[in-house]
């Protein structure tokens, strides 16, 4: 069965090389702590599925580790897969698939990670949880990690500057009916595991531990204004814009970057703020107590690579 890809992702990520060039990597401190909580830190040849691997921003970090992980980079979008395959990363097999259709044997994976995506399909659903549950070993762990700039954050978050708040207003002015991290409704797929009726309450059994273990690390990146725009343009709902509509958005973003609270260094670069956010949990099986884990509890300031 061919992977199902949200139209915004299919159209917005066709320029995979631009995505790879302008999207950030992940703070080293977060990666180290995450792998410890996934129980694969120091485990030689652990089998990891990088779900919705994209162009391999997170895959590269896994491949560079000394554990010689066996990494299955699963990605539904063809342009993204080609960009990732060109990197020829150590221990990485690039596969076509998504969160509801992984070409992986049952109970064969030590850890599943999805970075910068919601279950690899642009939306979270019960089918995805069931598929992730299928491929994980009984003691396996599933983790999600995102880089979230202040301009692309949930409404409940407060940007650290006025100019980034203006950019956030532009982001939220678009509504293409696609579920993203900033919508905060993706959590519902986990909450529904505990929903029951008088007929099912005795047998209700969640697939994953609840509540979600989670953590957040502050990030800071110094970038030229042009680089900020190029990164902003990689958002899927912005990447599909053309002509006057794209020009209007670009003007709004550059006007925001002329704000009186923009912090600028001696190189003329501006300080772009964000968070790296992580959620993870064990399988809820008879052999693994449903215990939530915290990906990382300390708050850190990290300069993204």
What is the average per-residue pLDDT within 85-108? 96
Q: Are 50 and 26 in contact (CB under 8 A)?
A: no
| Lowest-pLDDT choice from 159-168, 192-201, 242-251, 292-301 | 292-301
Q: What per-residue confidence (pLDDT) applies to 54?
A: 92
Model confidence at 121, in pLDDT bands (50, 70, 90)? low
Higher-pLDDT residue of 219, 283: 219
pTM: 0.82
Higher-pLDDT residue of 237, 21: 237
What is the average per-residue pLDDT within 283-298? 43
Domain spans of the chain, in order of start: 16-150+177-219+276-301
Q: What per-residue confidence (pLDDT) applies to 203?
A: 43
- Residue 39 backbone class (left: φ over 0; alpha: ψ -120 to 50; beta: rest): left
Query: At residue 11, does pLDDT exceed 70?
Result: no
What is the average per-residue pLDDT within 185-195? 77
Q: What per-residue confidence (pLDDT) applies to 285?
A: 52
Query: At residue 178, does pLDDT exceed 80?
Result: no
Cβ neighbours around 131 below 10 Å, total: 23
How far apart CA 257 and CA 260 sit, in angstroms, is 9
Residue 245 parent element (H or E): helix 243-256
Query: At residue 267, does pLDDT exceed 50?
Result: yes
Higher-pLDDT residue of 254, 30: 254
List, for residues 143-175, the tens digit of each pLDDT value.
889 999 999 999 999 999 999 999 999 999 998
Most confident option among 22-31, 64-73, 118-127, 214-223? 64-73
Looking at domain 16-150+177-219+276-301, its CATH class is alpha beta
How far apart CA 62 and CA 58 sit, in angstroms, is 7
Q: What per-residue confidence (pLDDT) applies to 120?
A: 64
Going through 150-300 in order, the beta strands assigned E by DSSP cover: 213-223, 270-282
Q: Are 64 and 305 in contact (CB under 8 A)?
A: no
What is the average per-residue pLDDT within 124-129? 86
Tell the burial category of 156 from Cβ atoms under 10 Å away from its Cβ (0-12, 13-18, 19+): exposed
Q: Mean pLDDT, the chain, as a whole number?
A: 83
Q: Terminal CA-to-CA distance of the chain, rounded, Å?
A: 37
Model confidence at 207, in pLDDT bands (50, 70, 90)? confident
Model confidence at 23, in pLDDT bands (50, 70, 90)? confident
């Amino acid at each position: 069965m061919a992977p199902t890809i949200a139209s915004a992702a299919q159209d917005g990520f066709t320029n995979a090389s631009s995505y790879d060039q302008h999207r950030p990597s992940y703070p080293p401190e977060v990666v180290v702590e995450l792998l410890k909580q996934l129980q694969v830190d120091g485990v030689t040849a652990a089998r990891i599925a990088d779900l919705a691997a994209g162009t391999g921003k997170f895959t590269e970090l896994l491949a560079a580790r000394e554990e010689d992980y066996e990494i299955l980079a699963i990605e539904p979008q063809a342009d993204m897969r080609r960009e990732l395959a060109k990197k020829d990363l150590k221990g990485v097999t690039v596969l076509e698939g998504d969160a509801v259709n992984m070409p992986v044997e049952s109970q064969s994976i030590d850890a599943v990670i999805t970075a910068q995506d919601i279950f690899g399909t642009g939306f979270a659903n019960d089918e995805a949880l069931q598929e992730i549950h299928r491929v994980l070993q009984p003691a396996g762990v599933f983790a999600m990690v995102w880089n979230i700039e202040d301009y692309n954050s949930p409404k409940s978050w407060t940007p650290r500057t006025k100019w980034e708040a203006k950019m956030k207003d532009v982001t939220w002015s678009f509504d293409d009916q696609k579920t993203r991290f900033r919508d905060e409704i993706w959590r519902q797929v986990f909450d529904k595991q505990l929903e029951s009726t008088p007929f099912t309450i005795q047998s209700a059994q969640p697939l994953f531990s609840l509540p979600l273990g989670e953590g957040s690390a502050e990030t800071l990146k110094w970038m030229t204004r042009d680089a900020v725009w190029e990164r902003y343009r990689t958002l899927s709902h912005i990447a599909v814009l053309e002509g006057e509509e794209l020009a209007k958005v670009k003007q709004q973003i550059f006007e925001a970057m002329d704000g009186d609270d923009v912090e600028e260094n001696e190189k003329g670069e501006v300080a772009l703020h964000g968070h790296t956010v992580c959620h993870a949990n064990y399988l809820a099986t008879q052999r693994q107590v449903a215990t939530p884990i915290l990906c990382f509890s300390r708050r850190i300031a990290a300069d993204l690579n």
